[in-house]
Amino acid sequence: MAGKSGIIFIGSKPPMSYVLAIITSLSGSDAEEVTLKARGRAISTAVDAAEITRRRFIKDLKISKIAIGTEEMPAREGENRARMVSTMEITLTKK
């Protein structure tokens, strides 16, 4: 693949913030795909952002890959063991 590929980390902002980031990332002339990465509760925000972008803004955007997984997070202060957290990656590709 010749085009550039970007990564957007999804956090706790409203979905529209990430929609703008996706559109910006895909607006360069050689920008072909962007991957959204999310953990825990932000997973539903990632799906929202992907769906809003596809439905309302970039109609020819394709979901080329969806993957889920588990990551170990270091124990926070006061906890005595690591926590497992679910992860999700959604790759969006311009045709």
- Minimum CB distance to its own copies, residue 47 (Å): 4
Strand order in the sheet with 31-39: 4-9, 31-39, 83-94, 61-73
Q: Which of residues 33-92 bind its own copies (CB under 8 A)?
A: 40-44, 47-48, 50-51, 55, 63, 66-70, 84, 86, 88, 90
Please give the size of the binding site for its own copies, defined by CB under 8 A.
Answer: 20
Find, among 66, 58, 59, the residue nearest to 90 by Cα. 66
Is residue 8 at the binding interface for its own copies, with CB under 8 A as the rule?
no
Residue 42 in tokens: 């932000």
Q: Where are the alpha helices (DSSP H) in the chain?
A: 15-26, 42-52
Residue 65 in tokens: 């890959």
Q: Which is nearer to its own copies, 28 or 67 (CB)?
A: 67
- Minimum CB distance to its own copies, residue 93 (Å): 14
The contact set with its own copies (CB under 8 A) reads 40-44, 47-48, 50-51, 55, 63, 66-70, 84, 86, 88, 90
